[in-house]
Chain A
Amino acid sequence: MNELSVDHLLGIKDLTKEDIQLIHKTADQFKEVINRPIKKVPSLRDITIANLFFENSTRTKLSFELAEKRLSADVINFSAAQSSVKKGETLIDTVNNILAMKVDIVVMRHPNPGAGVFLSKHVNARIVNAGDGAHEHPTQALLDSYSIREKLGTLEGKKVVIVGDILHSRVALSNIYCLQKLGAEVMVCGPATLIPTHIKSLGVKVEYNLRKALEWCDVANMLRVQNERMDISYFPSVREYVQQYGVNKELLDSLKKKIVIMHPGPINRGVEITSDVADSDQAIILNQVENGVAVRMAVLYLIASKIQRND
């Protein structure tokens, strides 16, 4: 199969296993491209991409923008802070105004879950979801699974634990879908208040004891504690969270095997993981960042290849 089964990338839930494998294989080629002396290919030179960020983002936006530029696409950026959204314009109006300038693909981050799906039904452009509220963040899951595949060779039969704030995390949900589709076993671990009640219905294991979770897994994906999304106190203090759910070097060294440590960033050093863990050879955090560009290039390339040129 050389083509995605979907026209938009709204969430991992809509993708098949073959779609994910195609994205990974295409990303292999782009990873080679971005390590050349000249890191650019002309594939998307007649495609215009709008990055619409209705929520703050640094690395995802940079990563998408770099991916777009390395594919030679024309790029326009828009962020809510400096826009008419503040003046009361609706999402559809904002996007249609941008599309009137002949944009082919919209990369959007939005605080409301389902914003991408809504948009894909109402505007005539391909949508790539760069995070919608606490719902999905598909490209993060694709790059996380790509990084695990790169490190361990395959996802099939591997055990991955996602640690931390599962409740507010779109990375967790997309990762669960993605890892399961690729044949990995998934466990979530964190304080009971930050684990959604019905998470078991997704077929994941739940563990409240970090040491037990780490002993079980091959890979630990440490999520950031999202203070900005917390309307109430979910745990008594940061100090207590660190004691219960923070990973430090002593803990890692006391495990029977060497596990892989991942983090989607930005890291709260000393909270989810200590500095010596983040900088150790078990952490693949910077590989994730590098792979992020290659994976996003693959996604944009494959989405764009389905826009038939009609001249």
Chain B
Amino acid sequence: MDVASRDRTRALALALPALAVFLAFWLLPMVRLAHVGATGEEGLAAYTAVITHPSYFRSLVSTVTLSALTTVATLILSLVAGLFLQRNHFTGRDLLVSLLTLPLAFPGVVVGFLVILFAGRQGLIGDVTAWLTGETLVFAYGMAGLFTGYLYFSIPRVILTLMASIEKLDPALEEAARSLGASPWQVTRDVILPALRPALLSSGAICFATSMGAFGTAFTLATQINVLPLTIYNEFTNYANFSMAAALSIVLGLITWAVLALARTAAGAGVAAAA
């Protein structure tokens, strides 16, 4: 007993170096960030500026809208592709799966560049539309380009999570529903979707939070795009408004953290209810 409790203490002590790094290089700097945010010209009001200040508010609304649209589109596309790849076995399937997960580790800047090659001034879409209609379609350098980029880096992450959950589904349940006369759409709505709820919630939340905080893609496409991370970056580097940049990044951090925490609670409850 004595030995066991000494072992526990020793085991706990092994977490100390990681804890020290976290406290010194993350928590302490974050406290400083929050303090800087509260002690600028506007004082504590800097924290509500994202709602009271029209241009910051617009930036918040467009970031949330863009992230929400990205999440919905990513979930739908990944669900369809994930179900298809997990349910049908054909030659080349494994290749398709690895291709889908290829962009997993591409940084935002690279994704931005790929969007430029895809839909920029010398891009593929432009060439194709010029050939088809005579007019060159270019949409890389605005919100549509950003949406394309966010979709690009979100799909691989979400599809991996969803495919893992689809693999664990019990095909007997779907079989039972079908034998009772349920249409394919009813099976999807009443059997598959509820079973995938936790995975959809958690991967959707990760997708949303990542899109809210993404910086590299927007940075490559155009620094004038009005999304919160770029607003923060411009406040900090171009206007040297450190306190506003600090306050806005604390608010942004709180939003992404809250979304992730909420989704985890909801998904956890879903798992508990299903078990």
User: Do A and B truly interact?
Assistant: no
Residues of A within 8 A of B (CB): none
Residues of B within 8 A of A (CB): none
